[in-house]
């Protein structure tokens, strides 16, 4: 397991804050109230471990198969529905939405191999990521891929109530490999994948796919 580069500043800050809080509490009250100090030490240690865990990159055998669309992130499938996309396609698409809690791996990966033909940052709100309007109202990054078969797919990185930074590493005209890293979202968020209407969906509501591993649909 590795630590994502996006997490280094947050982890360093968390360690310094952890040391500052616990050293000062120890000096000020540990002799008189040892129970309080131990409780605070345990709680702050749990928070520090959660922050470190959030930025983990687990070792995985990534999936690469041309006919499959692979989950772009870890999480829980919270929506599978036909929607009208007003941001790029201006047509109906099948939307698969995956919610990422703070306990999930937050690396985002390319669902298919192909060419990046469109990328757009959209400022917005910070509604909870499972809110139906988070797809259109929240801060988000839109990336559109064109497969060699000519079909197009839209992946949408969406900020949540806690996610205040979306990172997208793609550039327009870039040729990308399936399941390779395309971005990162910090602290609780969601990803939507908009597929052609004839795509065969391979997941169900409540499923918990793994990013870069689990097929969610096929052409």
Which of 14, 134, 135, 189 is flagged as catalytic?
Answer: 189
Q: Which residues of 143-165 are buried (b: 16+ CB within 10 A; e: fewer)?
A: bbbebeeebbbbbbbbbbbebee
Does 14 participate in catalysis according to the annotation?
no
What is the rounded distance in angstroms from the CA atom of residue 34 to the CA atom of residue 38? 6
Pinpoint the alpha helices (H) of the chain. 8-29, 34-54, 134-137
What is the rounded distance in angstroms from the CA atom of residue 14 to the CA atom of residue 186? 14
How far apart, in Å, are the Cα atoms of 170 and each of 14, 27, 114, 167, 183?
29, 49, 12, 9, 8
Catalytic residue numbers read 189
């Amino acid at each position: 397991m590795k630590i994502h580069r996006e997490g280094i500043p947050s982890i360093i800050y968390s360690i310094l804050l952890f040391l500052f809080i616990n050293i000062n509490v120890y000096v000020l009250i540990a002799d008189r109230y040892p129970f309080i100090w131990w409780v605070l030490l345990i709680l702050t240690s749990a928070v520090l471990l959660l922050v470190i865990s959030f930025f983990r990159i687990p070792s995985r055998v990534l999936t690469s198969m041309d006919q499959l669309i692979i989950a772009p992130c870890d999480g829980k499938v919270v929506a599978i529905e036909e929607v009208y996309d007003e941001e790029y396609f201006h047509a109906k698409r099948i939307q698969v939405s995956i919610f990422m809690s703070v306990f999930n791996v937050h690396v985002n990966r390319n669902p298919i191999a192909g060419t990046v033909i469109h990328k757009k940052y959209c400022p917005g709100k910070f509604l909870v990521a499972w809110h139906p309007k988070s797809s259109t109202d929240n801060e988000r990054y839109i990336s559109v891929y064109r497969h060699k078969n000519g079909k197009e797919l839209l992946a949408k990185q969406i900020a949540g109530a806690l996610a205040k930074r979306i990172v997208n590493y793609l550039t327009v005209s870039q040729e990308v490999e399936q399941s390779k890293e395309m971005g990162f979202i910090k602290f609780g968020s969601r990803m939507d994948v908009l597929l052609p209407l004839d795509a065969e969906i391979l997941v169900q509501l409540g499923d918990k796919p793994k990013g870069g591993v689990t097929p969610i649909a096929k052409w």
